[in-house]
Amino acid sequence: MEKQKLSFQAEVKQLLHLVTHSLYSNKEIFLRELISNASDACDKLRFEALNDNALFEDAPNLEVRISFDKAAKTITISDNGIGMSAQEAIEHLGTIAKSGTREFMGKLSGEQARDAQLIGQFGVGFYSGYIVADRITVESRRAGLTPEEGVRWVSEGTGDFEVETIHRDKRGTDVTLHLRDDAEEFLSGWKIKSIVGKYSDHISLPILMRKEEWDQEKQEQVTKDEWETINKAAALWTRSKADITDAEYQAFYQQLSYDSTPPLAYTHNRVEGRSEYTQLLYIPAKAPYDLWNRDKRGGVKLYVKRVFIMDDAEALMPTYLRFIKGVIDSADLPLNVSRELLQESRDVKAIREGSTKRVLSMLEDIAENQKDKYSEFWREFGAVLKEGMGEDFANRERLAKLLRFSSTHADEGVSLADYASRMKEGQEAVYVITADTLAAAKSSPQLEIFRKKGIEVLLLTDRVDEWLLSHLYEFEGKPLQSVAKGAVDLGKLQDEEEKKQAEAAAESFKPVLERLKTALAGKAKDVRVTTRLVDSPACLVVEEGDMSGHLARLLKQAGQEAPNAKPILEVNPEHALVKKLDGSERFEDLANILFDQALLAEGGHLEDPAAYVRRVNTLLAG
């Protein structure tokens, strides 16, 4: 065939401009795409040779080779795969988004289609070469054709291309990029190795490049004639679990995460069905420094057919599991044309749901069978896992069983199931209290009646706990009840005699209550007698449904507006300080001191500390 000059299909100038300037966020992607295409070509040959072994000719070992010429400013990616005829070069290289791979996949059926490790869904990966090149030359010969039926395709990517027949002894394809001046950084063996290591390390074919060594006389790197393999050519996650040792799993984790501490646990599974993918997921032993940065993407790497697509594939793992590290390799995940962004699809959703359930299953197994190890996990990541109660409605019940708390019975490790098993006969609620610290929670006056009666109360001290309570309403039919909200009601746990005594005390104390309401009109929403106090004179509570003082403080610390709701002051009529109120000449000072002390006891901050000090000093001096 004589040299022909042909035009690209469609508005190729605009399309090539889009490919080279908009679809890819970094220049090095071109090498990933061209290696992926070379791998596809080898896969095609392997499958066609199942029916015609002669297609291998005299080169049965499939491989990809990369070479570069600094003087000529070229990079060449070669493969000994299926190759192209002249007509195929015109069709597949002259048409944007026409994929030979897609057509090839359409010819396969049954088991062959599922086993074919083919990518190139959109057929534009080749054109990514124009990110760095102002001219691309392709020389190819299809397996089974004669050496005289080779083809050369040349284009500057501006609107037309040239095709001619050439003599080519070897089958396969050579893609030569003539680099622009601003892309000379890629004329480096070190640079090419780093890109291959990042994107194509786990492609099943060996990727070869000529060895380089330092020349002392010339003071530069010198290329030798000897070739070396620059990728591992084996993906750990694609091997059978039975063939992988624990040491290999540990080593892969270190390579993946740069974490020298062994992981707490890992899971390796192949999922088959409508969506096919392999997952190798790790739970780290230690939390990273930026764990609480919710804008930080997750630690899962996405591969498609062993080709690296993206780091931190947050679409495949919910935010509350952002500490998980690992690999997900999909057989058929839909990607956009740059392979850099996931498209929203049922497949993405299925992988996300499946991976989430796998992690939760792993955590459930550790919680059930390795309690000490789960305690380690909870200390590092428990507060983050709590976020899932509001983010993952589908798994809310499973997450609730994984939660661990401190309580008045134990400093850590109390599950809701543990609490339920220790509930008193007649107890109708799971009692909780939130505070800034464990010490503050333990010493809270609101706990006194519960401690006296031996009723366990969960102590919630993580900043996320107030948010957690807005989504965790009940456990196994028992509502969660804050001991700092509403009037104390122990239901069947409080006998009739106690109730009668409380009612009588409230009645006899009415005149003092009215004076307290007047004295504290600017501070307290209401003042009432309570049975929740044993040793303390007073405490602050809020109405059921109102924002707790603890949550209001957290919002203010975060620079957010909090509702200016007044608390309720509850007083213990049996306490000496409260009894002293009746008839006191310094009633207003005592009333304010009671309120301020109750505020301090729950971890609050005084609006006027100096006034509090003056009142206390006056009483001490008098």
Distance between CA atoms of 178 and 129, rounded to whole angstroms?
A: 9
Percent of the chain exceeding pLDDT 70 equals 86
Distance between CA atoms of 110 and 119, rounded to whole angstroms?
A: 18
Q: What confidence tier does 60 reach under pLDDT thresholds 50, 70, 90?
A: very high
Distance between CA atoms of 149 and 289, rounded to whole angstroms?
A: 60
Average pLDDT score over residue span 293-321 = 78
534: Cα within 13 Å, side-chain hemisphere: 11
How much is the pTM? 0.73
Confidence at residue 328, expressed as pLDDT on a 0 to 100 scale: 92
Q: Which of 486, 489, 499 minimizes the C-alpha distance to 526?
A: 486
Specify the amino acid at residue 194: S
Residue 223 is inside which H or E element, if any? Answer: strand 220-229
User: Domain 383-492 is of which CATH architecture?
Assistant: 3-Layer(aba) Sandwich (3.40)
Contact 328, 316 (CB under 8 A): yes
User: Domain 236-377 is of which CATH architecture?
Assistant: 2-Layer Sandwich (3.30)
Distance between CA atoms of 470 and 554, rounded to whole angstroms?
A: 15
Average pLDDT score over residue span 51-76 = 94
Q: Best-predicted range by mean pLDDT among 1-15, 18-32, 173-187, 456-470?
A: 173-187
Confidence at residue 97, expressed as pLDDT on a 0 to 100 scale: 46
For the chain, the structural domain boundaries read 4-226, 236-377, 383-492, 493-621
**Burial group, residue 197, by CB count within 10 angstroms (0-12, 13-18, 19+):** middle
End-to-end Cα, the chain, rounded Å: 115
User: Tokens 């031996």 identify what position?
Assistant: 454
Confidence at residue 341, expressed as pLDDT on a 0 to 100 scale: 53
Calculate the average pLDDT of the chain: 84
Task: Render the burial of 277-312: b for 16+ CB within 10 Å, e for the rest.
Answer: bbbbbbbbeebbeebeeeeeebbbbbbbbbbbbbee
Specify the amino acid at residue 481: Q
Confidence at residue 138, expressed as pLDDT on a 0 to 100 scale: 96
Confidence at residue 284, expressed as pLDDT on a 0 to 100 scale: 94
Rg of the Cα trace of the chain? 35
Q: What confidence tier does 92 reach under pLDDT thresholds 50, 70, 90?
A: confident
Confidence at residue 24, expressed as pLDDT on a 0 to 100 scale: 61
Average pLDDT score over residue span 355-372 = 96
Distance between CA atoms of 622 and 620, rounded to whole angstroms?
A: 6
Q: What angle do CA 159, 160, 164 make, to 5 degrees?
A: 165
Q: Which fold has domain 493-621?
A: Four Helix Bundle (Hemerythrin (Met), subunit A) (1.20.120)
Specify the amino acid at residue 517: K
pLDDT in tens, 258-272: 788 999 999 999 998
Average pLDDT score over residue span 225-236 = 89
- Helix and strand numbers, DSSP H then E, in the chain: 21, 22
User: Domain 4-226 is of which CATH architecture?
Assistant: 2-Layer Sandwich (3.30)
pLDDT in tens, 101-160: 444 445 544 444 444 333 333 456 788 898 899 999 999 999 999 999 999 999 988 778
Identify the weakest region by mean pLDDT among 19-33, 419-433, 448-462, 595-609.
19-33
Contact 572, 536 (CB under 8 A): yes
Pure H helices in 428-558: 438-442, 448-452, 465-469, 496-508, 510-519, 549-557
